[in-house]
Structure 1
Amino acid sequence: MKEVPYIVDTNWLAERLDDPYLRILDATTFMAIPENGGSPTIQSGRDSYEEGHIKGAVFADLINDFSDPESSLPFTVPSRQQFISKMTELGVGDDTYTVIYDQGAMVGDPVIAAYWASRLAWQMRYEGFEHIAVLEGGLPKWKEEGRPVTTEVADYPAASFTGERRPELLATKEDVKRAMDDDNIVLINSLSPEDFRGETETYSRKGHIPSSVNVFFGVHADQATRKVHEDQVLRKTFEQAGALDSGKKVITYCGGGIAATWNALMLNKLGQENVAVYDGSMNEWTSDPSCPLVTGK
């Protein structure tokens, strides 16, 4: 099976829609923030998928199929057996390559598209799947360009899969604790600067993990065109964080292990392969009083 780029544009995908080895996954999930404040709620994107999607796309349910149903935290990785079973049911396996997209991160706000797609792409790589691309700009960009959508549900035969899990791509709370005092590991907080500095009420405790640096995941794409910035721009951002230094390992984190995967994807795109995602992120860290936090810059 041929290699595919980490990120592909709409032209790349449009030229391959009829490829029998292609699998397109719609990973749409929405986050809704109450108008009067409070904790955000998460909604499945299945209804939006059924209202219109790219030809050949099947719906990948991040909430119900690709998260651990026994976890007290949202969106932690499920068992390997569950993940592989659900993925191969969608027709994804050894003889296919995959393009993943979503419809935007927030209800009514499609500006940041690929946020959820990068989460599923990271999970697939963690379990040993290969040949995975994320669609730049997602469905919003596809539709803005006048490209067709359909309500017809694709159906693929179940696939076989023989890949092996890559545990080095996932970081635990204990890994992060050790990383705080390890000069060879760069901890990247992927949240907004306000969250990083502890100026918001988003989490039960404010601030960021000691020694971590802030690289907001929302700065990597043009908000008007939805195009990911050129590599030289991305490289400058991550060089300032020390994430591209030779021999360094990077651990990315955010609120719940979603935005962190977008930063991880950008680093992979730049050639930094030694990147792990802290799956529990701030949801887990702030719930444990023994885990330290600092505020300010």
Structure 2
Amino acid sequence: MNDRNLIVSAEWLAANTENPQVIIIDCRFSLADPELGQKQYQESHIPGAGYLDLNQDLASAVGDRGGRHPLPNIAELAAKLSAIGINSGETLVVAYDDSRLAFAARLWWLLRYMGHGKVALLDGGFSGWKAAGYPVTSSLPDRPDGKFVPELQRDMAVEFEAVKERKDLPDRVLVDSRESERYAGLREPIDPIAGHIPGAVNYPWQEVTDETGKVRSASEQKQRWTELGKAEEIIVYCGSGVTACVNLLSLEIAGIPDAKLYVGSWSDWCSYQL
């Protein structure tokens, strides 16, 4: 484990797949094909891994407000975490996906939001695991239930009104995590309005990892955020509050804690402009 225990290597995880204090969660998902992740998990996954689905488990139904991936029902998610075998404050959860942490980081953030700090991400994801020659299986895990009791850290998240009120204040920074073309309004494949929240600066989430999904070094993460390090408050958003979590991970690795997630993100902001 490294980078303040936020990232684990495939080598470390391979040595700990049988560790009763470690629970592995597969978070593979495709926005273009929402059933693909579940199918991939059923076909092959890291031995012992459970599965959590972005739409079904890590978000709730879309409403008029709140964006495309509102926070899940916390009681329901806590019950699922318990059923997977996670004990609050005890179990180390290791999450992975195959999308440069796009979905695994959402679980990483949610667990911390629910008061569970013992969570890490698999460097290189599922492809990195396979490339290193480690085994995969289609067998479903059979673990005893845990007891997950959430203790919400409500100051980790902000909603529309808070963003509207704070975005222009001195020493506050609003970070847009989408790719630069979407930030600039040159392309918008999903939401009804193109552009960004006025005053936001652009730090694309893909910069946190290399092309293989390996997390860039702590020194590189620190360098990314040099200009924002002295901000009194950093609020991070993306399209729907999912990939922004990759930037929140980057900030943690860089030693800049306490940044907040605008959960509804651009998709929520848009809903107030229509």
Taking structure 1 as the reference length, the TM-score comes to 0.85
Q: How many residues align?
A: 268
1:93 to 81, 87, 90: 87
Q: Which residue of 2 aligns with 1:179?
A: 166
**AA matched with 2:162:** D
Give SS of 1:115's match: coil
1:68 aligns with 2:60: yes
Gaps of 5+ in 2: none
Q: Does 1:273 align with 2:257?
A: yes
Q: Per-residue deviation at 1:175?
A: 1.3
Q: Return the alpha-carbon distance in structure 2 between the equivalents of residues 61 and 14 of structure 1.
A: 23
- Displaced runs of 4 or more, over 6 A: none
Q: Report the secondary structure of 2:72's partner residue.
A: coil
Residue 55 of structure 1 pairs with residue 44 of structure 2: no
Equivalent in the alignment of 2:29: 29
**CA distance, structure 1, for counterparts of residue 4 and residue 23 of structure 2:** 13
Give percent identity, aligned residues only.
31
> Match for 2:239 among 233, 255, 266?
255
Point out where structure 1 has 5 or more consecutive residues left out of the alignment. 33-40, 105-112, 291-297
Asked which structure has the greater RCO (Cα within 8 Å, sep 6+), the reply is: 2
Is the counterpart of residue 282 in structure 1 residue 266 in structure 2? yes
Correspondence for 1:8? 8
Aligned to 1:30, the other structure's residue is in SS state coil
Change (3 A) 1:66 1:259: closer
Q: Which amino acid aligns with 1:218?
A: Q
Give the distance between the partners of 1:281 and 1:187, measured in 2 at CA.
11
CA distance in 2, matches of 1:215, 1:278: 15
Amino acid at match of 1:264: L
Cα RMSD (Å): 1.8
CA–CA separation in structure 2 for the residues paired with 1:255 and 1:43: 20
Shift of 1:18: 1.4
Alpha-carbon deviation of 1:163? 4.3
What amino acid is the match of 2:73?
A: S
Q: What letter corresponds to residue 92 of structure 1 in structure 2? A: I
* 1:102 is the counterpart of 2:87: no
For normalisation by structure 2, the TM-score amounts to 0.92
CA distance in 2, matches of 1:54, 1:222: 22
**What is the match of residue 129 of structure 2?**
142
- The DSSP-based 3-state class of the residue aligned with 2:225 is helix
Q: Distance in 1 between matches of 2:34 and 2:21?
A: 32
Residue pair 1:4, 1:132 contacting (<8 A) in 2 also: no
Cα distance in 2, alignment partners of residues 145 and 11 from structure 1? 8
